[in-house]
Structure 1
């Protein structure tokens, strides 16, 4: 018979095979984003609102439709039938203001649509990344369960030979029970993550696994570029357009009595007498301070309030951006430390403990602790990767909303 492979080599092989991904029919992030946009009804609703307001803008710039006037008058001397047309002629500047107001409202809806597209990208990316982590966590814990199972087989042989105590066997059984509980918790978290992603992509979240590798997102621009781009963010430009619409409302309030109305009437009596009458109707501002000025004042206050809300929203976006960017930088530092130091050292310690135990130079307790530490460090590293990518998705919301590289 050939020589048996060292224990640490056997465990390393189990690790490799246990973590090898199955990516058949994998749901890629770009496809998940496409599916989310195809399924989302909010984008279609916002687009319909934009089209509606554009049409209203065109209609508001034209003269109102004329009105048909019909009448009949009967007296002791004669009966008379009347027919006519009434046409309203608003001031041309008022028509332009009404048209511009609807156009500004359409611009605001379009900006809200663009903002929702960014929010949708961010929501899908974060849900996808959370499921990616939970899926990786299941793979890692399953690997470690296999590792503990192999250790248990070896431990029972050592216990039968008198090399392990009953307390050490109980420690191993306790670790296996804790590992099973951990796996159950992660499976539950994975189901929750699938449900969250299914909200955006449907059944594909349940029917397809995600790829093994962490998906690549677009690069995060420098902080100064992110800050300078905030005034052009759709959440802010929507407010800008809404404020312009309110400013049009202020000017419209100042033209409450602008324009006139013309009636053209034709009348014919039963004695064949005919008359043609033209009437001009003009509004008279008897108490302009009580109506026109108050309407204008109310419009100015609405515009002022919207401007203050816009300033506060911009401040909040800047505060959130700085918080997210700082967190992202700290996560990058932790990932680098984990990648260059923690994980390699965990692997070395685990291999050394397995080799030492096989050569009788290390005890079983040290081998078990090394295996547990390696598991925890692997899970922590994957969590850091997912957290950093989720924060990166948050930062992309503040820049250009790019989906992926």
Structure 2
């Protein structure tokens, strides 16, 4: 009975509110299905492919209807059958653009498809990258927040020790305030991390559609292969888009050149007159005459050729820019990795050893509580900073592989 009563309420709860935490791969796969921008780009690609079907086709024929030789003055004015020149006509005409123009139109349509597909691939790459970074940011923000919560728990234990010392008279009264002061500083840091968690959840929800986005599992273990990534730069969506724009500019140049070749039109008509005079049939061909190319077609050809050269130079500049960006990202990754190793091997162990020594000195009555607590706070900050450095390395690895590596599936493999 309770389930029957609660069923309508459960049905009214959005599916995202009941969603389970997402692993890294699951988040990527869900973003690939749910991101509206990807669906919008796919619709754009479909539209471009559909429009390309008509490229290079013959124009529709034209139906001509008319009246010729209708008298408007003289003795036969206003009569269809008293004048032997009056006739009603019906005809068809068909335009035939020159083959070079139609071929260039088809090439331009294929280039437009390439531009649309490259744009969709670039957006898929961006969605995949931003989803992965949001997942990693949420994962490490929650870990850093948990680290501070463990410090808060240890402060509660220390508060009991201070209370016992106050009762025995071995501690000064102001010492009772020092754990609370440290807890206040920890609360400020926790508020910052809680905000980071909320922001990361919002970014993850943007791409996955899960309003209660959460993470489960561990981040992927990815390697950075400099040589392999550098060799694959030419296949990245950004450069593929520039390649397609170059092909489009070349097609526009061919279209301009095709204007120097004449188009032609075939027409036929049937003229009906009074039966006493007989009907007429007409057939004709009209041909364009591009006689003034120096002032009409040639300037357009030069302009389109300059645009094509510009597109090729932009493509070369784009490849250099990507190569420079890859080297810069690899340098940042190496720096972040060194900082992480320094934190793990030096900073955290030293902070831990100092905190232990200071707490032992406090227990022996050789150090005041404030100094011992500051050492504990320094240890917590060192551990949180180490997690932040680990997050930087993970972000670098994901950014490099997902930006400069090919997209093969919705999972962790770049």
> Same fold per TM (> 0.5)?
yes
Whole-angstrom CA distance in 1 between matches of 2:214 and 2:133: 16
Describe the shift of the 1:244–1:209 C-alpha distance in structure 2 as closer, same or farther (beyond 3 A): closer
State the match for 1:242 in structure 2.
245
User: How much does 1:170 deviate?
Assistant: 3.7
* TM-score, length of structure 2 as denominator length: 0.84
Whole-angstrom CA distance in 2 between matches of 1:218 and 1:262: 66
User: How much does 1:351 deviate?
Assistant: 4.2
Q: Deviations over 1:133-174 (max 9, x none)?
A: 221122111111111111111112112323223454443332
Q: Deviations over 1:172-229 (max 9, x none)?
A: 332121112222222223222222222112234x2x5322x541154322x2322222
Whole-angstrom CA distance in 2 between matches of 1:225 and 1:70: 68
Matched, 1:202 2:209: yes
Q: 1:56, 1:99 within 8 Å by CA — same for their partners in 2?
A: no
Matched, 1:299 2:304: yes
Matched, 1:275 2:280: yes
State the match for 1:258 in structure 2.
262
Matched, 1:391 2:399: no
Q: Which moved more, 1:338-347 or 1:87-96?
A: 338-347
Matched, 1:227 2:235: no
Matched, 1:141 2:148: yes
After superposition, where does 1:145-224 map in structure 2 within 5 Å? 145-204=152-211, 206=212, 208-211=213-216, 214-216=218-220, 218-221=222-225, 223-224=226-227
State the match for 1:33 in structure 2.
28
Q: Deviations over 1:362-391 (max 9, x none)?
A: 653453233212211111111111111112
State the match for 1:340 in structure 2.
345
Q: Which moved more, 1:76-85 or 1:238-247?
A: 76-85
After superposition, where does 1:56-71 map in structure 2 within 5 Å? 56-71=51-66
**Aligned to 1:400, which of 397, 406, 409?**
406
Whole-angstrom CA distance in 2 between matches of 1:46 and 1:382: 37
State the match for 2:328 in structure 1.
323
User: How much does 1:345 deviate?
Assistant: 4.1
Q: 2:100, 2:258 within 8 Å by CA — same for their partners in 1?
A: no
Look up the SS of the partner of 1:385 in the other structure: helix
Runs of 4+ in 1 over 6 A off after TM superposition: none
User: How much does 1:358 deviate?
Assistant: 4.3
User: How much does 1:120 deviate?
Assistant: 0.9
Whole-angstrom CA distance in 2 between matches of 1:39 and 1:217: 25
State the match for 1:92 in structure 2.
99
Whole-angstrom CA distance in 1 between matches of 2:30 and 2:396: 22
Whole-angstrom CA distance in 1 between matches of 2:348 and 2:152: 19
Q: 1:35, 1:201 within 8 Å by CA — same for their partners in 2?
A: yes
User: How much does 1:354 deviate?
Assistant: 4.2
CA RMSD, Structure 1 to Structure 2 (Å): 2.3
State the match for 2:8 in structure 1.
none
State the match for 1:54 in structure 2.
49
Whole-angstrom CA distance in 2 between matches of 1:142 and 1:258: 81
Whole-angstrom CA distance in 1 between matches of 2:406 and 2:343: 30
Whole-angstrom CA distance in 2 between matches of 1:26 and 1:386: 19
User: How much does 1:236 deviate?
Assistant: 0.7
Gaps of 5+ in 1: 1-23
Whole-angstrom CA distance in 2 between matches of 1:288 and 1:144: 82
State the match for 1:9 in structure 2.
none
* TM-score, length of structure 1 as denominator length: 0.86
Q: Deviations over 1:26-64 (max 9, x none)?
A: 221222122222222222232233233333333223322
Look up the SS of the partner of 1:59 in the other structure: coil
